Structure 1
Amino acid sequence: MKQFFKYVLATVVGVFISSILVGLLFIGLVTVVVSSLGSSSEPTVSANSVLHITLDHQITEKTVPSPFDDISIPGTPNTRSLGLNDIVARIKTAKTDNNIKGIYLNVSTVNAGFATVRAIRNALIDFKESGKFIISYSDVMTQKAYYLSSVANEVYISPVGSVDFRGLSSSVMFMKDALDKLGVEMQVVKVGTYKSAVEPFILNEMSAANRLQVNAYLNSLYDGFVSDIATARSLDEQAVRRVANEYLIQFPEDAVKQKFVDSLIYRDELLVKLKNKVGIDQKKDLSSISLLDYRKSSSVSGTSGAGRIAVLYAFGDIVDGNTSGDEQIGGESLSRELRQLREDDKVKAIVLRVNSPGGSALASDLIWREVSLAKKAKPVIVSMGDYAASGGYYISAAADSIFADAGTLTGSIGVFGLIPNLQNLFNNKLGLHFDVVKTGPYADVSIDRPLTAEERSIVQGGVNRIYQQFMQRVADGRGLTVAQVDSIGQGRVWTGSQAIELGLVDRLGTLDDAVRSAAKMAKLDSYKISEYPRTKDPFESLFKTSKEKVKMWFLKDELGDHVKYLNDMKRVMQNTGIQARLPYEIEIY
């Protein structure tokens, strides 16, 4: 008994001491965070400095602040990153900053869509108009990294480096055989010949219609990709295509031979070139500042004035409810933002920045309603990012005017429902059986049995109704007939360049172009720009960080890019109701 109490006492003391240590650790962490927030002084930019740009992080539409941005915590993934808004704004500020003499572009890969990459590329082209230099150097470059680097005055790679240039491809993972082995049947109800969001669950390869549309928009993207590179490097477009088609860049020397890079150099030689460019002695240290630390401009800015233009960001999946996640658009939360901007007399125009593959049809319609009401009160302009497809196009259709990038993927006007049938999994794989007593023929609709013909007919009727409503929304907003919308709808995806010809988009342009258009429609000679939703207090977000988000941080740290497959499966399992969604997450390499 004495020994028992001894162990109990030791356990209690151990728990007590551990609790104190954990508490002290938490207090220490909070102290460090508070200190970092309180001392977030802007780093000094010395004279004759170089702006160092690396893009080795996920690029979202808008910077999402984190309390851990300025501190390093052992054992935790690095989450420091910039959104497209701040990347472009900081490059724009550097253009007129007398202390910044040029840019050192150090990019190996770019984790973003084509429209995002082009927006950064256009900002770099604008920077060059100041007469300042851009030097690009990297050990290796993916195709998107090279596309970005091609605007530089000088492009270099390491003598043992490489430029990956093989043309574009789009791939998707098909899961039918895996689901068959698990005993899972995905029951599909859809409208749209090209609405292929369901294909990964019922096929092992693309349908003929889907292959047709992917081939069309991929080649549309590729045409612009090749043309931009050829122009930047003073090459013939056919020569650029030949390099990809014949895989002519296999070794570093090949990149020089094909005039894709200017020379092969080591980093010490790069340092010599940068010092010569800024005009300092080779014995002195080169002054540089990273884009992450260059905080002279943290948001979109405009001229001062009484009028205000609101830039409202809507990026991520469209979901039901009041969610305020970093990469989700809540139907209720975005509707509320639009309503508040509509009722705010200081806001003279709204620019809705959309980067979404779609999602819930219900949430999309709620947002569409608020866009329609806002348009009656003040100008509403849509600026499209990488995606504004399906539900993303639904919420855009009512705007006064729509701007897109040539590489934006849009359209996908179609609807589907996906209902899993797990009967085979339960009965034959797990040995589980269900019996039911019900008061009506439809009372037991469930995932443990297949839909009856009558039940499938009911679901199909709901899908058809929403598709008709979707087409009517587009027809009303774009001045088209429903028949015209149906002819370019059917779930088909288009690039921004193609969408202009079809009447789905008004102009190719950047977010800045959309803002200027909004100012013109509102008859504002001077104005200031405010971004919405308002940036949350990063310290407050520390305590609201969900368990799911923490798990995803560590999973991404371990799995890297492969975490997207886990996200795809999770998204499918979370889908409820009828969906207006892009065929799938399109990865173009």
Structure 2
Amino acid sequence: MKEFFKYVFATVVGVILSIGVFFILFIAIIIGIISSIGEDKSVIVDNNSVLYLNLDQAITERTYSDPLSDLPIVGSEGKKSIGFTDVIKALKSAKYDDNIKCIYLNVSSPNAGYANMREIREALIDFKTSKKKIIAYSEVYTQGAYYLASVADKIYLNPQGALEFKGLSSQTAFFKGALDKLGIEAQIIRVGTYKSAVEPFIDTKMSDKNREQVTAYVNGLYDTFLGDISKSRNISKDSLFQIANDYKIQEPKDAEKYKMVDGLKYKDEILDELKSLSGTSKNSNLTTVTINDYAKNVILGSKGNTNRTKIAVIYANGDIMGGEGSNDQIGSERISRAIRKARTDTSIKAIVLRVNSPGGSALASDVIWREVVLSKKVKPVIASFGNVAASGGYYIACAADSIFVQPNTITGSIGVFGIIPNFQKLLNTELGITFDGVKTGQYADIMSTVRPMTAGERLIVQNGVNHVYDSFITRVADGRKKSKAYIDGIAGGRVWIGTDAVKIGLADRTGSFEDAIKAAAKKAKITDYRIVEYPEMIDPIKALLENSTDKIKTYYAKQEFGANYLIYQQIKTAISKSGIQARMPFEITVN
């Protein structure tokens, strides 16, 4: 009887909790709908305004219109974000806006890749040609923050603050020891000397080849990092290198001593300077407009452009997978459908494929590649690479007429691999679970994860991986107009930095996203056009409801693991991947 009441009580509690969750979601949706009313209303920009450029928010490929971003909903990130393209459009508009007198750049720890940060830097440099000033201030500058702030006319640091300037590093977590303790064997099939995506699961340190490529691209990133700061601050690259190498910036006064900042000031002093620059009296309140609101004005203003001639920008952002994907995942169905739509629309004269992806499913990559090839036959297709366009991310774009990269774009990684986990020891030895059964042929249970692969099975899988790799380098050779032998020589899974990719022919030139759009217009022989963006953004409320379970799991996993969530995610991703992968060597984190 006790057990009966226990189960009844548990059921009642479960029902109550479920009702509570659905009630919260219902309220959230209602609030979201209410908050979205008037979302398309523009913000009035008063005279003598300061454009408040907050770059600590997530800087994404596209601006997500999320009415739930300010609500405390489990599974919703609850953070502001803005697309880097909208930042650039807003800065270009502000350059000519008489109501905008200057920019207040506030950044401590930007949530963006170095390639996108470089595009924003270039837009800020262009803004300065208007003779309007940029003032940067922060209590703490991380290296990424300083990279952005270094373009400002004046950089100020809080007298008790900190400026991080120590050089770049990249670290990889290796899981072999943990897998051994758990009794899990990662069975690896790969092609490519540098295809080190599998290394963390079969070794405890970097291979020599992997160390070689990581050293090359980290040094490449650092060279661009120092070079850009050197031009902005008029400090030689050698001096900057020495400042970082010797860790000379340990206190705020050191940053001022080595001319990394122009002064040590408190916020009230910054506000006074901004008032002076904007023509605001000292006793009046400063008039500001956020970059998010100002960008919204620019976007709404562009909706008045009804030009029939169009260029389609197709965003391919995130891991590549089969199916529909999401705003942060490249679903082969969703992206290929968007490319097909742009191809068959006669009013669209050119396509720009914007890629920011470490790769993923080789099959899904090939599906998207096919649509690019078909589109190229009827209209120009230009690829623009963001922070990373590697492996499958490179695959989907290799057929484009031209490929644009930033100097610090990470690309290449032309290689293929497969991981088949073997849980036999974990299940048999640790848990006492055994398996037995029958089959109609020796390969009926190929890909089983409860026993080791046989030699025959390994050969079959290796042949499959070899076939995908051969198709991959063939696609690249055809797209880049090179021989297969040449592509094979620079492939092998090796990662390249943007400048090197141009030198070896994997890309055509370094240039911004806007440069890619201009090149598309030139190739299509059009001068007057408007931009249309694909695929359509997935409604945030719909996405929350459809993926609420996964989002809640992710939320609590992040709370539990904290800074170690990335390691947990890498293990989970590797074990869960099915099929042959064309993916980056590992999750690159450069500090």
Residue 135 of structure 1 corresponds to 135
Secondary structure, in 3 states, of the residue corresponding to 2:58?
A: coil
**Contact 1:67-1:542 within 8 A present in 2 as well:** no
Residue 98 in 1 paired to residue 98 in 2?
Answer: yes
**Closer, same or farther in 2 for the Cα pair 1:19/1:169, shift >3 Å?**
closer
Distance 1:83 1:222, change over 3 A: same
Q: 2:564 and 2:110 mapped to 1: Cα distance?
A: 16
Change (3 A) 1:483 1:300: farther
Counterpart for residue 334 of structure 1: 335
Q: Does 1:33 align with 2:42?
A: no
* CA distance in 2: counterparts of 1:195 and 1:20, whole angstroms: 48
Instruction: Name the counterpart of 1:356.
Output: 357
Name the CA shift for 1:529/1:74 in 2 (closer, same or farther; >3 Å).
closer
Q: Distance in 2 between matches of 1:581 and 1:265?
A: 46
With 348-357 and 51-60 compared, the bigger mean Cα shift is at 51-60
In structure 1, what is the equivalent of residue 554 of structure 2? 552
Alignment partner, residue 80 of structure 2: 80
Output the CA distance in 2 between the equivalents of 1:555 and 1:46. 44
Instruction: Give the secondary-structure state (helix, strand or coil) at the position aligned to 1:293.
Output: helix
- Which runs of 5 or more residues in structure 2 are unaligned? 1-7
Residues 126, 432 of structure 1: alpha-carbon distance in 2 compared, 3 angstrom cutoff: same
Structure 1 residues 453 and 50 mapped into 2: Cα distance closer, same or farther (>3 Å)?
same
- For 2:224 and 2:521, the matched residues in 1 are separated by 29
Matched, 1:203 2:189: no
Give percent identity, aligned residues only.
50
| Residues 210-235 of structure 1: CA deviation (Å, up to 9, x unaligned) | 00011011111111111111110011
What does residue 4 of structure 1 align with?
none
Give distance in 1, aligned partners of 2:497 and 2:390.
Answer: 10
1:188-227 to 2 correspondences below 5 Å: 188-227=188-227
Moved more, 555-564 or 134-143: 555-564
- Contact between 2:54 and 2:106, CA under 8 Å: does it hold in 1? yes
- Aligned pair 1:155/2:155, yes or no? yes
Contact 1:300 1:531 survives alignment (8 Å): no
Distance in 1 separating the partners of 2:318 and 2:539: 21
**d(CA) in 2 for partners of 1:467, 1:429:** 37
The CA deviation at 1:552 is 2.5
> What's 1:266 paired with?
266
- Quote the Cα distance in structure 2 between the aligned partners of 1:380 and 1:47: 42
Q: Is the 8 A contact 2:352 2:383 kept in 1?
A: yes
Deviations, residues 488-524 of structure 1 (Å, cap 9, x unaligned)? 0010000110000000000111111000000011111
Question: How far apart in 2 are the matches of 1:103 and 1:281?
Answer: 17
C-alpha distance 129-555 of structure 1, shift in aligned 2 (>3 A): farther
8 Å Cα contact 1:355/1:386 also seen in 2: yes
Q: 1:528: Cα distance to partner? A: 0.4
Taking structure 1 as reference, are residues 263 and 16 closer, same or farther at Cα in structure 2, changes over 3 Å only?
closer
**Within 2, Cα distance between the matches of 1:434 and 1:21?**
42
Q: Please, which of 319, 343, 353 is the counterpart of residue 317 of structure 1?
A: 319
**Structure 2 residue aligned with 1:391:** 392
Alpha-carbon distance between aligned partners in 1 of 2:18 and 2:109, rounded to the nearest angstrom: 44
Find the residue that maps to 2:81 and give its secondary structure: coil
Tell whether the 8 Å contact from 2:28 to 2:68 is kept in structure 1 after alignment: no
| Residue aligned with 1:63, SS | coil
Aligned to 1:518, which of 517, 520, 526?
520
- Cα distance between partner residues in 2 of 1:264 and 1:473: 55
Cα contact 2:416–2:582 (8 A) shared by 1: yes
Mapped partners of 1:24, 1:364: distance in 2: 40
Residue type matched to 2:573 in 1? R
| Segment drifting more, 106-115 vs 552-561 | 552-561
Residues 1:35 and 1:120: Cα distance change in structure 2 (over 3 Å): same
Report the 3-state secondary structure (helix = DSSP H, G, I; strand = E; otherwise coil) of the residue aligned with 2:297. coil
Partner of 2:409: 408
- 2:381 alignment partner in structure 1: 380
Give, in whole Å, the separation in 2 of the partners of 1:390 and 1:413.
Answer: 5
1:44 deviates by: 2.1
1:92-131 → structure 2 map (5 Å cutoff): 92-131=92-131
Residue 563 of structure 1, CA deviation:
2.8
The answer to which of 73-82 and 107-116 deviates more is 73-82
Gaps of 5+ in 1: 1-7
Q: Match of 2:280?
A: 280
Q: 1:541: Cα distance to partner?
A: 4.2
Structure 1 stretch 87-96 or stretch 476-485: which is displaced more?
Answer: 87-96
SS state at 1:377 partner = coil
Give the whole-Å Cα distance in 1 for the aligned partners of 2:182 and 2:404: 45
The alpha carbon displacement at 1:91 in A equals 2.0
> Where does residue 43 of structure 2 map in the other structure?
43
- Residue in 2 aligned with 1:580? 582
| Letter matched to residue 331 of structure 1 | S
For 2:482 and 2:22, locate their aligned partners in 1 and report how far apart those are by CA, in whole Å.
Answer: 63
2:493 corresponds to which residue? 491
Instruction: Report what 1:480 is aligned to.
Output: 482
Asked whether the 8 Å contact 1:306–1:526 carries over to 2, the reply is no
Secondary structure in 2 matching 1:298? helix
Q: Name the counterpart of 2:4.
A: none
Q: Distance in 1 between matches of 2:421 and 2:21?
A: 44
* Offset, 1:110: 1.4
Other-structure match for 1:249: 249
Contact 2:28 2:73 in 1 (8 A): no
- Aligned-pair CA distance for 1:253: 0.6
Residue 545 to residue 56, structure 1, CA distance change in 2 (3 Å): farther
Q: Check conservation: 1:408, 1:495, Cα contact below 8 A.
A: yes
2:500 counterpart SS class: helix
Query: Which residue does the alignment assign to 1:66?
Result: 66
Aligned-partner residue type, residue 117 of structure 1: M
How far has the Cα of 1:269 moved from its partner? Answer: 1.0
Secondary structure at the counterpart of residue 260 of structure 2: coil
Inter-partner Cα distance in structure 2 for 1:398 and 1:160: 53
Deviates more, 1:181-190 or 1:292-301: 292-301
Which residue does the alignment assign to 1:426? 427
- Of 122-131 and 195-204, the range deviating more from structure 2: 122-131
Residues 123-160 of structure 1, C-alpha deviation per residue, up to 9 Å, x if partnerless? 11111111111111101111111011000000011111
